[in-house]
Structure 1
Amino acid sequence: MELSAMKTTSILFSFSFFLFLLPVLPLASASVTAPETGASSGASLIFATLDRSHYEFDIFTLPTRRRPPSASMEIRITDGESVNFNGYFPSPSPALLSLLPDETLIQQETVTPPLHLIYITERNGTSSIYYDVVYGQDSGSMTKRSLLESSARVQVPLLSGADGRSGMTVNSMRDKPSLIGDYLVYVSTHEDPGVPRASWAAVYSTQVQTGLTRRLTPRGIADFSPAVSPSGNWTAVASYAERGWAGEVEELTTDIYIFLTRDGTHRVKVVEHGGWPSWVDDSTLYFHRRSEDGWISVEDGWISVYRAILQKAGPVSIESVTIQRVTPPNLHAFTPATSPNNHEFIAVATRRPGDEYRHVELFDLRKNKFIELTRLVSPASHHFNPFLSPDSTRVGYHSCRGEANGWRSPRLFLENIQTTSPKLSLFRIDGSFPTFSPSGDRIAHVNMPGVTVVKPDGSDRRKVFPGMAFSTAWDPVQPGIVYTSAGPTFAKERTEVDVIAINVDADDPSTSIRKLTTNGQNNAFPWPSPDGKRIVFRSGRSGHKNLYIMDTEKGESGGLFRLTDGPWTDTMCNWSPDGELIAFASDRENPGSGSFELFLIHPNGTGMRKLIQSGSGGRTNHPIFSPDGQTIAFTSDYGAISAEPISNPHHYQPYGEIFTVKLDGSDLRRLTHNSFEDGTPAWAPKFISPRDVAWPRMNNCMFRDCHWLNITTTNTKPKGLGISC
């Protein structure tokens, strides 16, 4: 791995010294922070993230030149804590090694050469960038499947986030790191562009020893997946510089730009339509994009890897760049990885016809053929986002293998997410549609299929309804009564879905369920009034999904009051604590478009007003009032997209985040920063201490790859392409 270390270090230090001479631009603090709800003791909010509680990743590595690979050759580098992904093998320059304790430097002289790794980890409830050095204890330790079996490890967080040096909030997302000299180049989402549905993702450079930070992405532009050239002079990104996000949840319509790493200047577009760039030398980079391949349009073809050759003399422009397709059709190949000046092979992730798993392969550039790696080691596991060592001898990737691989982290029932306010504790729950009982002693949530009730410490977990259901709400007056929607999700207006009441404390389960709607139509999202006498819910009984109010005891047989009326969808309703307002999501401004805004209305049908404008085509959903009634939490794609979707597991509606807003529409605040789908928030009636709550140890790795990569045969269109998540 260190064959060209001296040459590389010289280049790195020249570039590092040049950067040091440049002025450092101050960063504006993030304009979105944790909410103040008015409660002196603080507030707590829980939310769901699609599939996130069901997997954890570790970073593994295989040698590239020992073939065929075997399980004994694979090394797990990261430590089994939380989720570790998107790694990078740095050249171990003196500037980087100076971050390590003195005893580490001494130990390095007497043992097998260590593995150096920079990567993203979520062990503290939000994404952080870590630097690990892993030492084997003997010459044979590097052949063990897990270095943890006989190793010493040193971990150094490279970005502290909330210490005031970099200007980043503690809960911003960081991603895709590279190191050039002692400067870290990466993506962060800590600055609000101030435009609905505009991505917060931008590329920054931070001096790892001082924390001095410079924004490299121009204001008003979103950049993803940065890659630094071997000399360090240039950075390439996938960018929305011209188009902006149009709601894509599969392959992004980004272009590739390059700019000077030192300050972001001399920015120029070099590729139309491309993502995930990776340099071989300062005039050659690889990227992926969808190909046409004889189907209806470019949106329907294979995702393949391409090569862009930039002219070495004169100004670079998109007209002067030569584009060549590298990988063949009849399979997906994406997220290419290169190493400096290696024109022999690249590493790619693939999805092959008939294989439901994503694997890492090498592609021989001289023979134009694939060399399989991870399928031969672990055929029934997904492997994501390969990266190569500087000398091309190792390929890294992240994968989810479960407890058998030695994870040390338990599966979490409530995962604490760091915030910037001591008055707010924020948690991801292992479930969906959570709500607290009025006293806060229990949580009801959907656990497909069915409804589960559990204490906040994870104990006394019971399934109280076994059928298909979604949404939960506790009765504020009758102890132990939970309302839910029994039936299929995302169903048409005439599909039978019923509002039911569940007595979770009933001795006889056969008498614990009471149907409040019986008309055979789609009735869902019930929420009781604060006095427990009425329920607002959504129904498709008119042929359109509108809001109705019925009696808590008699249900629809006691008569209905129609709250809204129109050829659109009003849904996800929630009653304010003082009983004066009902919040709901609606597509009434563009029916059938999938674009939802938040509205408020009085229970008597008067005073309708819009609360949130989510932007053209946007989604704001799942509104819920805070206990003091002053703030509404909701989920939204207001912050657009934060990473290339293909680099993640599958999420049905990616990039929804949790926000709060005051009832007059002011003080919009973003609470979560990640590339997952967050939704269904719920306030707790009292403050919960900000610490993780674990289930008994359980096997994880229950997740799916992006469904739009599924392929049935080499002669048919991939299933799911062109279908929105």
Structure 2
Amino acid sequence: MKSEKSLPLLLRLLPLLLHFFSCSSEDGRNSIVFATLGRTQYAFDIYTVHIPTVSLLSQSTPSNELLLTDGESVNYNGYFPDDPSSLLSLLSSPHPNVNQAVVYVTERNGSSNIYLDAHLHQNRPSESEEKGRRAALAEVPYRVQIPLLQSQSNDVRFSMKDRPSISGDHLIYVSTHEKAELPRKSWAAVYSSDLRTGGTQRLTPYGIADFSPAVSPSGEWTAVASAGERGWEGEIEDLKTDVYVFRTRDGSERVKIVDHGGWPTWADDRTLYFHRESDDGWWSIYKAVLPRRSLRRVDSVVVERVTPPGFHAFTPTAARNGKFILIATRRPTSEFRHIELFDLANKVFVEITRPISPNTHHFNPFISPDSTRIGYHRCRGGSNRSPLLLENLQNPLPGVSLFRIDGNFPSFSPNGDRIAYVSFPGLSVVNSDGSDKREIFSGAAFATAWDWKRKGVIYTSHGPKFASESTEVDVISINLEEKAENGQSFSSYSYKKLTTGGENNAFPSPSPDGKWVVFRSGRSGHKNLYIMDAIEGEKASIRRLTDGPWTDTMCNWSPDGEWIAFSSDRHNPGGDSFAIYFIRPDGSGLKRVVHSADGGRTNHPWFSPDSKSLTFTSDYAGVSAEPIANPHHYQPYGDIFIVRSDGSGIQRLTHNSYEDGTPTWGPTFIRPVDVVEGPPGGSKCKFDDCYWLAIKKRDGVSVASNPTCGSP
């Protein structure tokens, strides 16, 4: 028991302890929380299986798979180095007893990096052999782990999206850390980093985006899928890239060798395989043979189709012995993508992953230099680790913490102590430290916002998302009441319908004085903005704020009450392009603030606590990787940005190949550490393959299918 004399000291220390865990925006520190479609369910790891000699392929089944990576965060796009012992000697102390090693992209510690994992034989090195090892090197029994890129202090310099390669003493990889010159142009470029010195050279010309690099067996050449000078034009399926080749040492002698191709892989220094969507609708593997003499034009390259129609085949990798290729497939007989081996001489397909794990997606195969082991990544499924509710990400903003939430449409309470979010369906509330999670509404909901004056009141949209103007969606207010009875605290919830008619009334945002709510409605036949009474809804008072044959949506009222930000296609009605506009609550001062170029999408604006900046999601930075190499995303290009309220000073906060969206900016500074919830275990693999790889039957024949999606 504490003495009475110690109590004043504890009381004096209490504010300091509270400040350690959370800081208000009064000291300039706060937090941005956003959602990522499907990200918390990926849980990818790298696996490998051993294959028999090529002469026995048609009669063999692959052996059991072996897990190569450690279950930390998300690990994907692996590469087997030619000489792992020499690579380890280059990076740390010699390890002559390396069993196998893999280089891969990983998302841990709040940012992306490329790691080397080396599995050692049991006769581990002596203590003297361990001296001089890098301070950053981490070790578990019989495993050595080394991050291959070092961030520059607070600058989140590297952001990997694509498969890495090792060429001599250099790491070849894709990063998006350099801004493109124009909006809606991809920042993806190929770089070479010296593993001894850390010196980095850009191999992709400025103004051009390169994806999916592959280094030739000799190391002389690198092939990429490139948009060239055409750039990215909004494609979300086939990027319509071409295959270019250049010198690995410096990016020189760059030349296009294939029109329309992606994900190149070398069998030898004259033979490449790649994928493309064929004229018959099937993704297929093609072979390109380069001329023996100097390469000057595309028509000097011989191209032939390798895989037949009737199924999708993509992301190939070629064995250096020239006898087979590995591919990912989507066949009519399976709803999952699997890895298969194609024997080039006998024209025989051998299933690799379906006999082992038939109901799991497998991605982006790669092969060992001796052609005896196959690698790929897949979701690891059940885990002993707790799922993250709030995952911290490094970002370039001083005093602002950045978190990905395991949910959608988050919003902070006025004092920042709680966060509301939806899970499709259901709306939950959680403390900003991740504790006391409660579902307070079980119906279909989206777009949350807290009342500024009435404690515990949350506004949301009740009904289906991505729906037409006439769909039944209404704005409701949920009253969260905290009560105490017989020494115990509990909560009760009630809700009130604020709109009538159900003509797609959504995206409510209250005024700071607590009197009004702005929302969008399709009641006129077009989605425009309206303002209604915050307590009794439109039956008490409503007025129209915008009017026109376009879509005004995703509105947010500034904390100082001066402006309402919203997304609109009014610059090109019906053109599926959105920009951010400001309008005053009295309908004056309309202006466009952020526009990511013609055809671009800039959505979900949210003001900073001081009203001087906005966070939003946008395709401003284009797409970061070939979409087919990733899981399903309707929009594989969304990243989180901030901008000043006058439209200047755009900064990119997230760099990934996912769909980031629905950001909120709250007054609380959440400590930049991961916040976890729930018991461990359970499946984390409830995601779909790319929806445009669906296969349907027509007159008994399998055909490719390309369904379309809804709009906001």
Q: Distance in 2 between matches of 1:315 and 1:243?
A: 22
Equivalent residues of 1:129, 1:174 under 8 A apart: no
Determine the structure 1 residue equivalent to 2:469.
493
SS at match of 2:229: coil
Displacement of 1:421 after TM fit?
3.9
Q: Deviations over 1:226-260 (max 9, x none)?
A: 00001111100000103211111112110000011
Determine the structure 1 residue equivalent to 2:227.
240
Residue 400 to residue 650, structure 1, CA distance change in 2 (3 Å): same
677, 692, 703: which one aligns with 1:717? 703
Residue 258 to residue 39, structure 1, CA distance change in 2 (3 Å): farther
Determine the structure 1 residue equivalent to 2:639.
657
382, 400, 413: which one aligns with 2:379? 400
Displacement of 1:459 after TM fit?
2.2
Determine the structure 2 residue equivalent to 1:27.
none
Equivalent residues of 2:222, 2:245 under 8 A apart: yes
Equivalent residues of 1:87, 1:176 under 8 A apart: yes
Within 5 Å, give how 1:74-85 maps onto structure 2.
Answer: 74-85=65-76
597, 600, 610: which one aligns with 2:582? 600
Q: Does 1:559 align with 2:541?
A: yes
Equivalent residues of 1:288, 1:336 under 8 A apart: yes
SS at match of 1:376: coil
Give RMSD over aligned pairs.
2.3
Residue range with higher mean Cα deviation, 255-264 or 450-459: 450-459
Q: Distance in 2 between matches of 1:332 and 1:667?
A: 43
Q: Distance in 2 between matches of 1:623 and 1:420?
A: 19
Q: Does 1:473 align with 2:455?
A: no
Residue 330 to residue 635, structure 1, CA distance change in 2 (3 Å): same
Q: Does 1:637 align with 2:619?
A: yes
Q: What is the letter of the counterpart of residue 414 of structure 2?
A: P
Q: What is the letter of the counterpart of residue 448 of structure 1?
A: F
Determine the structure 2 residue equivalent to 1:128.
113
Q: Distance in 2 between matches of 1:303 and 1:310?
A: 22
383, 386, 409: which one aligns with 1:410? 386
Q: Distance in 2 between matches of 1:465 and 1:515?
A: 13
180, 183, 203: which one aligns with 1:193? 180
Q: Does 1:335 align with 2:315?
A: yes
321, 342, 354: which one aligns with 1:363? 342
Within 5 Å, give how 1:533-552 maps onto structure 2.
Answer: 533-552=515-534
SS at match of 1:319: helix
439, 455, 459: which one aligns with 1:483? 459
Determine the structure 2 residue equivalent to 1:298.
none
Q: Distance in 2 between matches of 1:204 and 1:189?
A: 10
Displacement of 1:38 after TM fit?
8.8
Q: Does 1:587 align with 2:566?
A: no
Q: Deviations over 1:659-685 (max 9, x none)?
A: 000011111111000000000001121
Q: Does 1:306 align with 2:286?
A: yes
Gaps of at least 5 residues in structure 1 are 1-36, 140-149, 294-300
Q: Deviations over 1:86-129 (max 9, x none)?
A: 00000126651224543x62xx34xxx51111000001222100
Q: What is the letter of the counterpart of residue 185 of structure 1?
A: I
Q: Deviations over 1:251-293 (max 9, x none)?
A: 2110000011111111111000000000011110000001123
Equivalent residues of 1:193, 1:200 under 8 A apart: yes
Q: Deviations over 1:105-155 (max 9, x none)?
A: 2xx34xxx511110000012221000110124389xxxxxxxxxx951101
Displacement of 1:632 after TM fit?
0.4
Q: Distance in 1 between matches of 2:121 and 2:379?
A: 23
SS at match of 1:521: coil
430, 441, 452: which one aligns with 2:428? 452
Which has the larger strand fraction?
A: 2
Q: What is the letter of the counterpart of residue 302 of structure 1?
A: W
SS at match of 1:98: helix
Determine the structure 1 residue equivalent to 2:135.
none
SS at match of 1:176: coil
Q: Distance in 1 between matches of 2:104 and 2:181?
A: 29
Displacement of 1:354 after TM fit?
3.1
Equivalent residues of 2:385, 2:681 under 8 A apart: no
Equivalent residues of 2:476, 2:497 under 8 A apart: yes
Q: What is the letter of the counterpart of residue 484 of structure 1?
A: T
Q: Does 1:207 align with 2:194?
A: yes
Equivalent residues of 1:126, 1:173 under 8 A apart: no
Q: Distance in 1 between matches of 2:144 and 2:379?
A: 23
Determine the structure 2 residue equivalent to 1:25.
none
Q: What is the letter of the counterpart of residue 102 of structure 2?
A: L
Determine the structure 1 residue equivalent to 2:101.
116
Q: Distance in 1 between matches of 2:112 and 2:47?
A: 19
Displacement of 1:651 after TM fit?
1.0
Equivalent residues of 1:544, 1:567 under 8 A apart: yes
Displacement of 1:73 after TM fit?
2.3
Equivalent residues of 1:598, 1:611 under 8 A apart: yes
SS at match of 2:274: strand
Q: Distance in 2 between matches of 1:38 and 1:431?
A: 24
Displacement of 1:169 after TM fit?
3.1
Residue 649 to residue 631, structure 1, CA distance change in 2 (3 Å): same
SS at match of 2:40: helix
SS at match of 1:488: coil
SS at match of 2:111: coil
Identity of aligned residues (%): 58
Q: Distance in 2 between matches of 1:493 and 1:575?
A: 23
Equivalent residues of 2:31, 2:670 under 8 A apart: yes
Equivalent residues of 2:25, 2:668 under 8 A apart: no
Q: Distance in 2 between matches of 1:698 and 1:247?
A: 38
Residue 71 to residue 123, structure 1, CA distance change in 2 (3 Å): farther
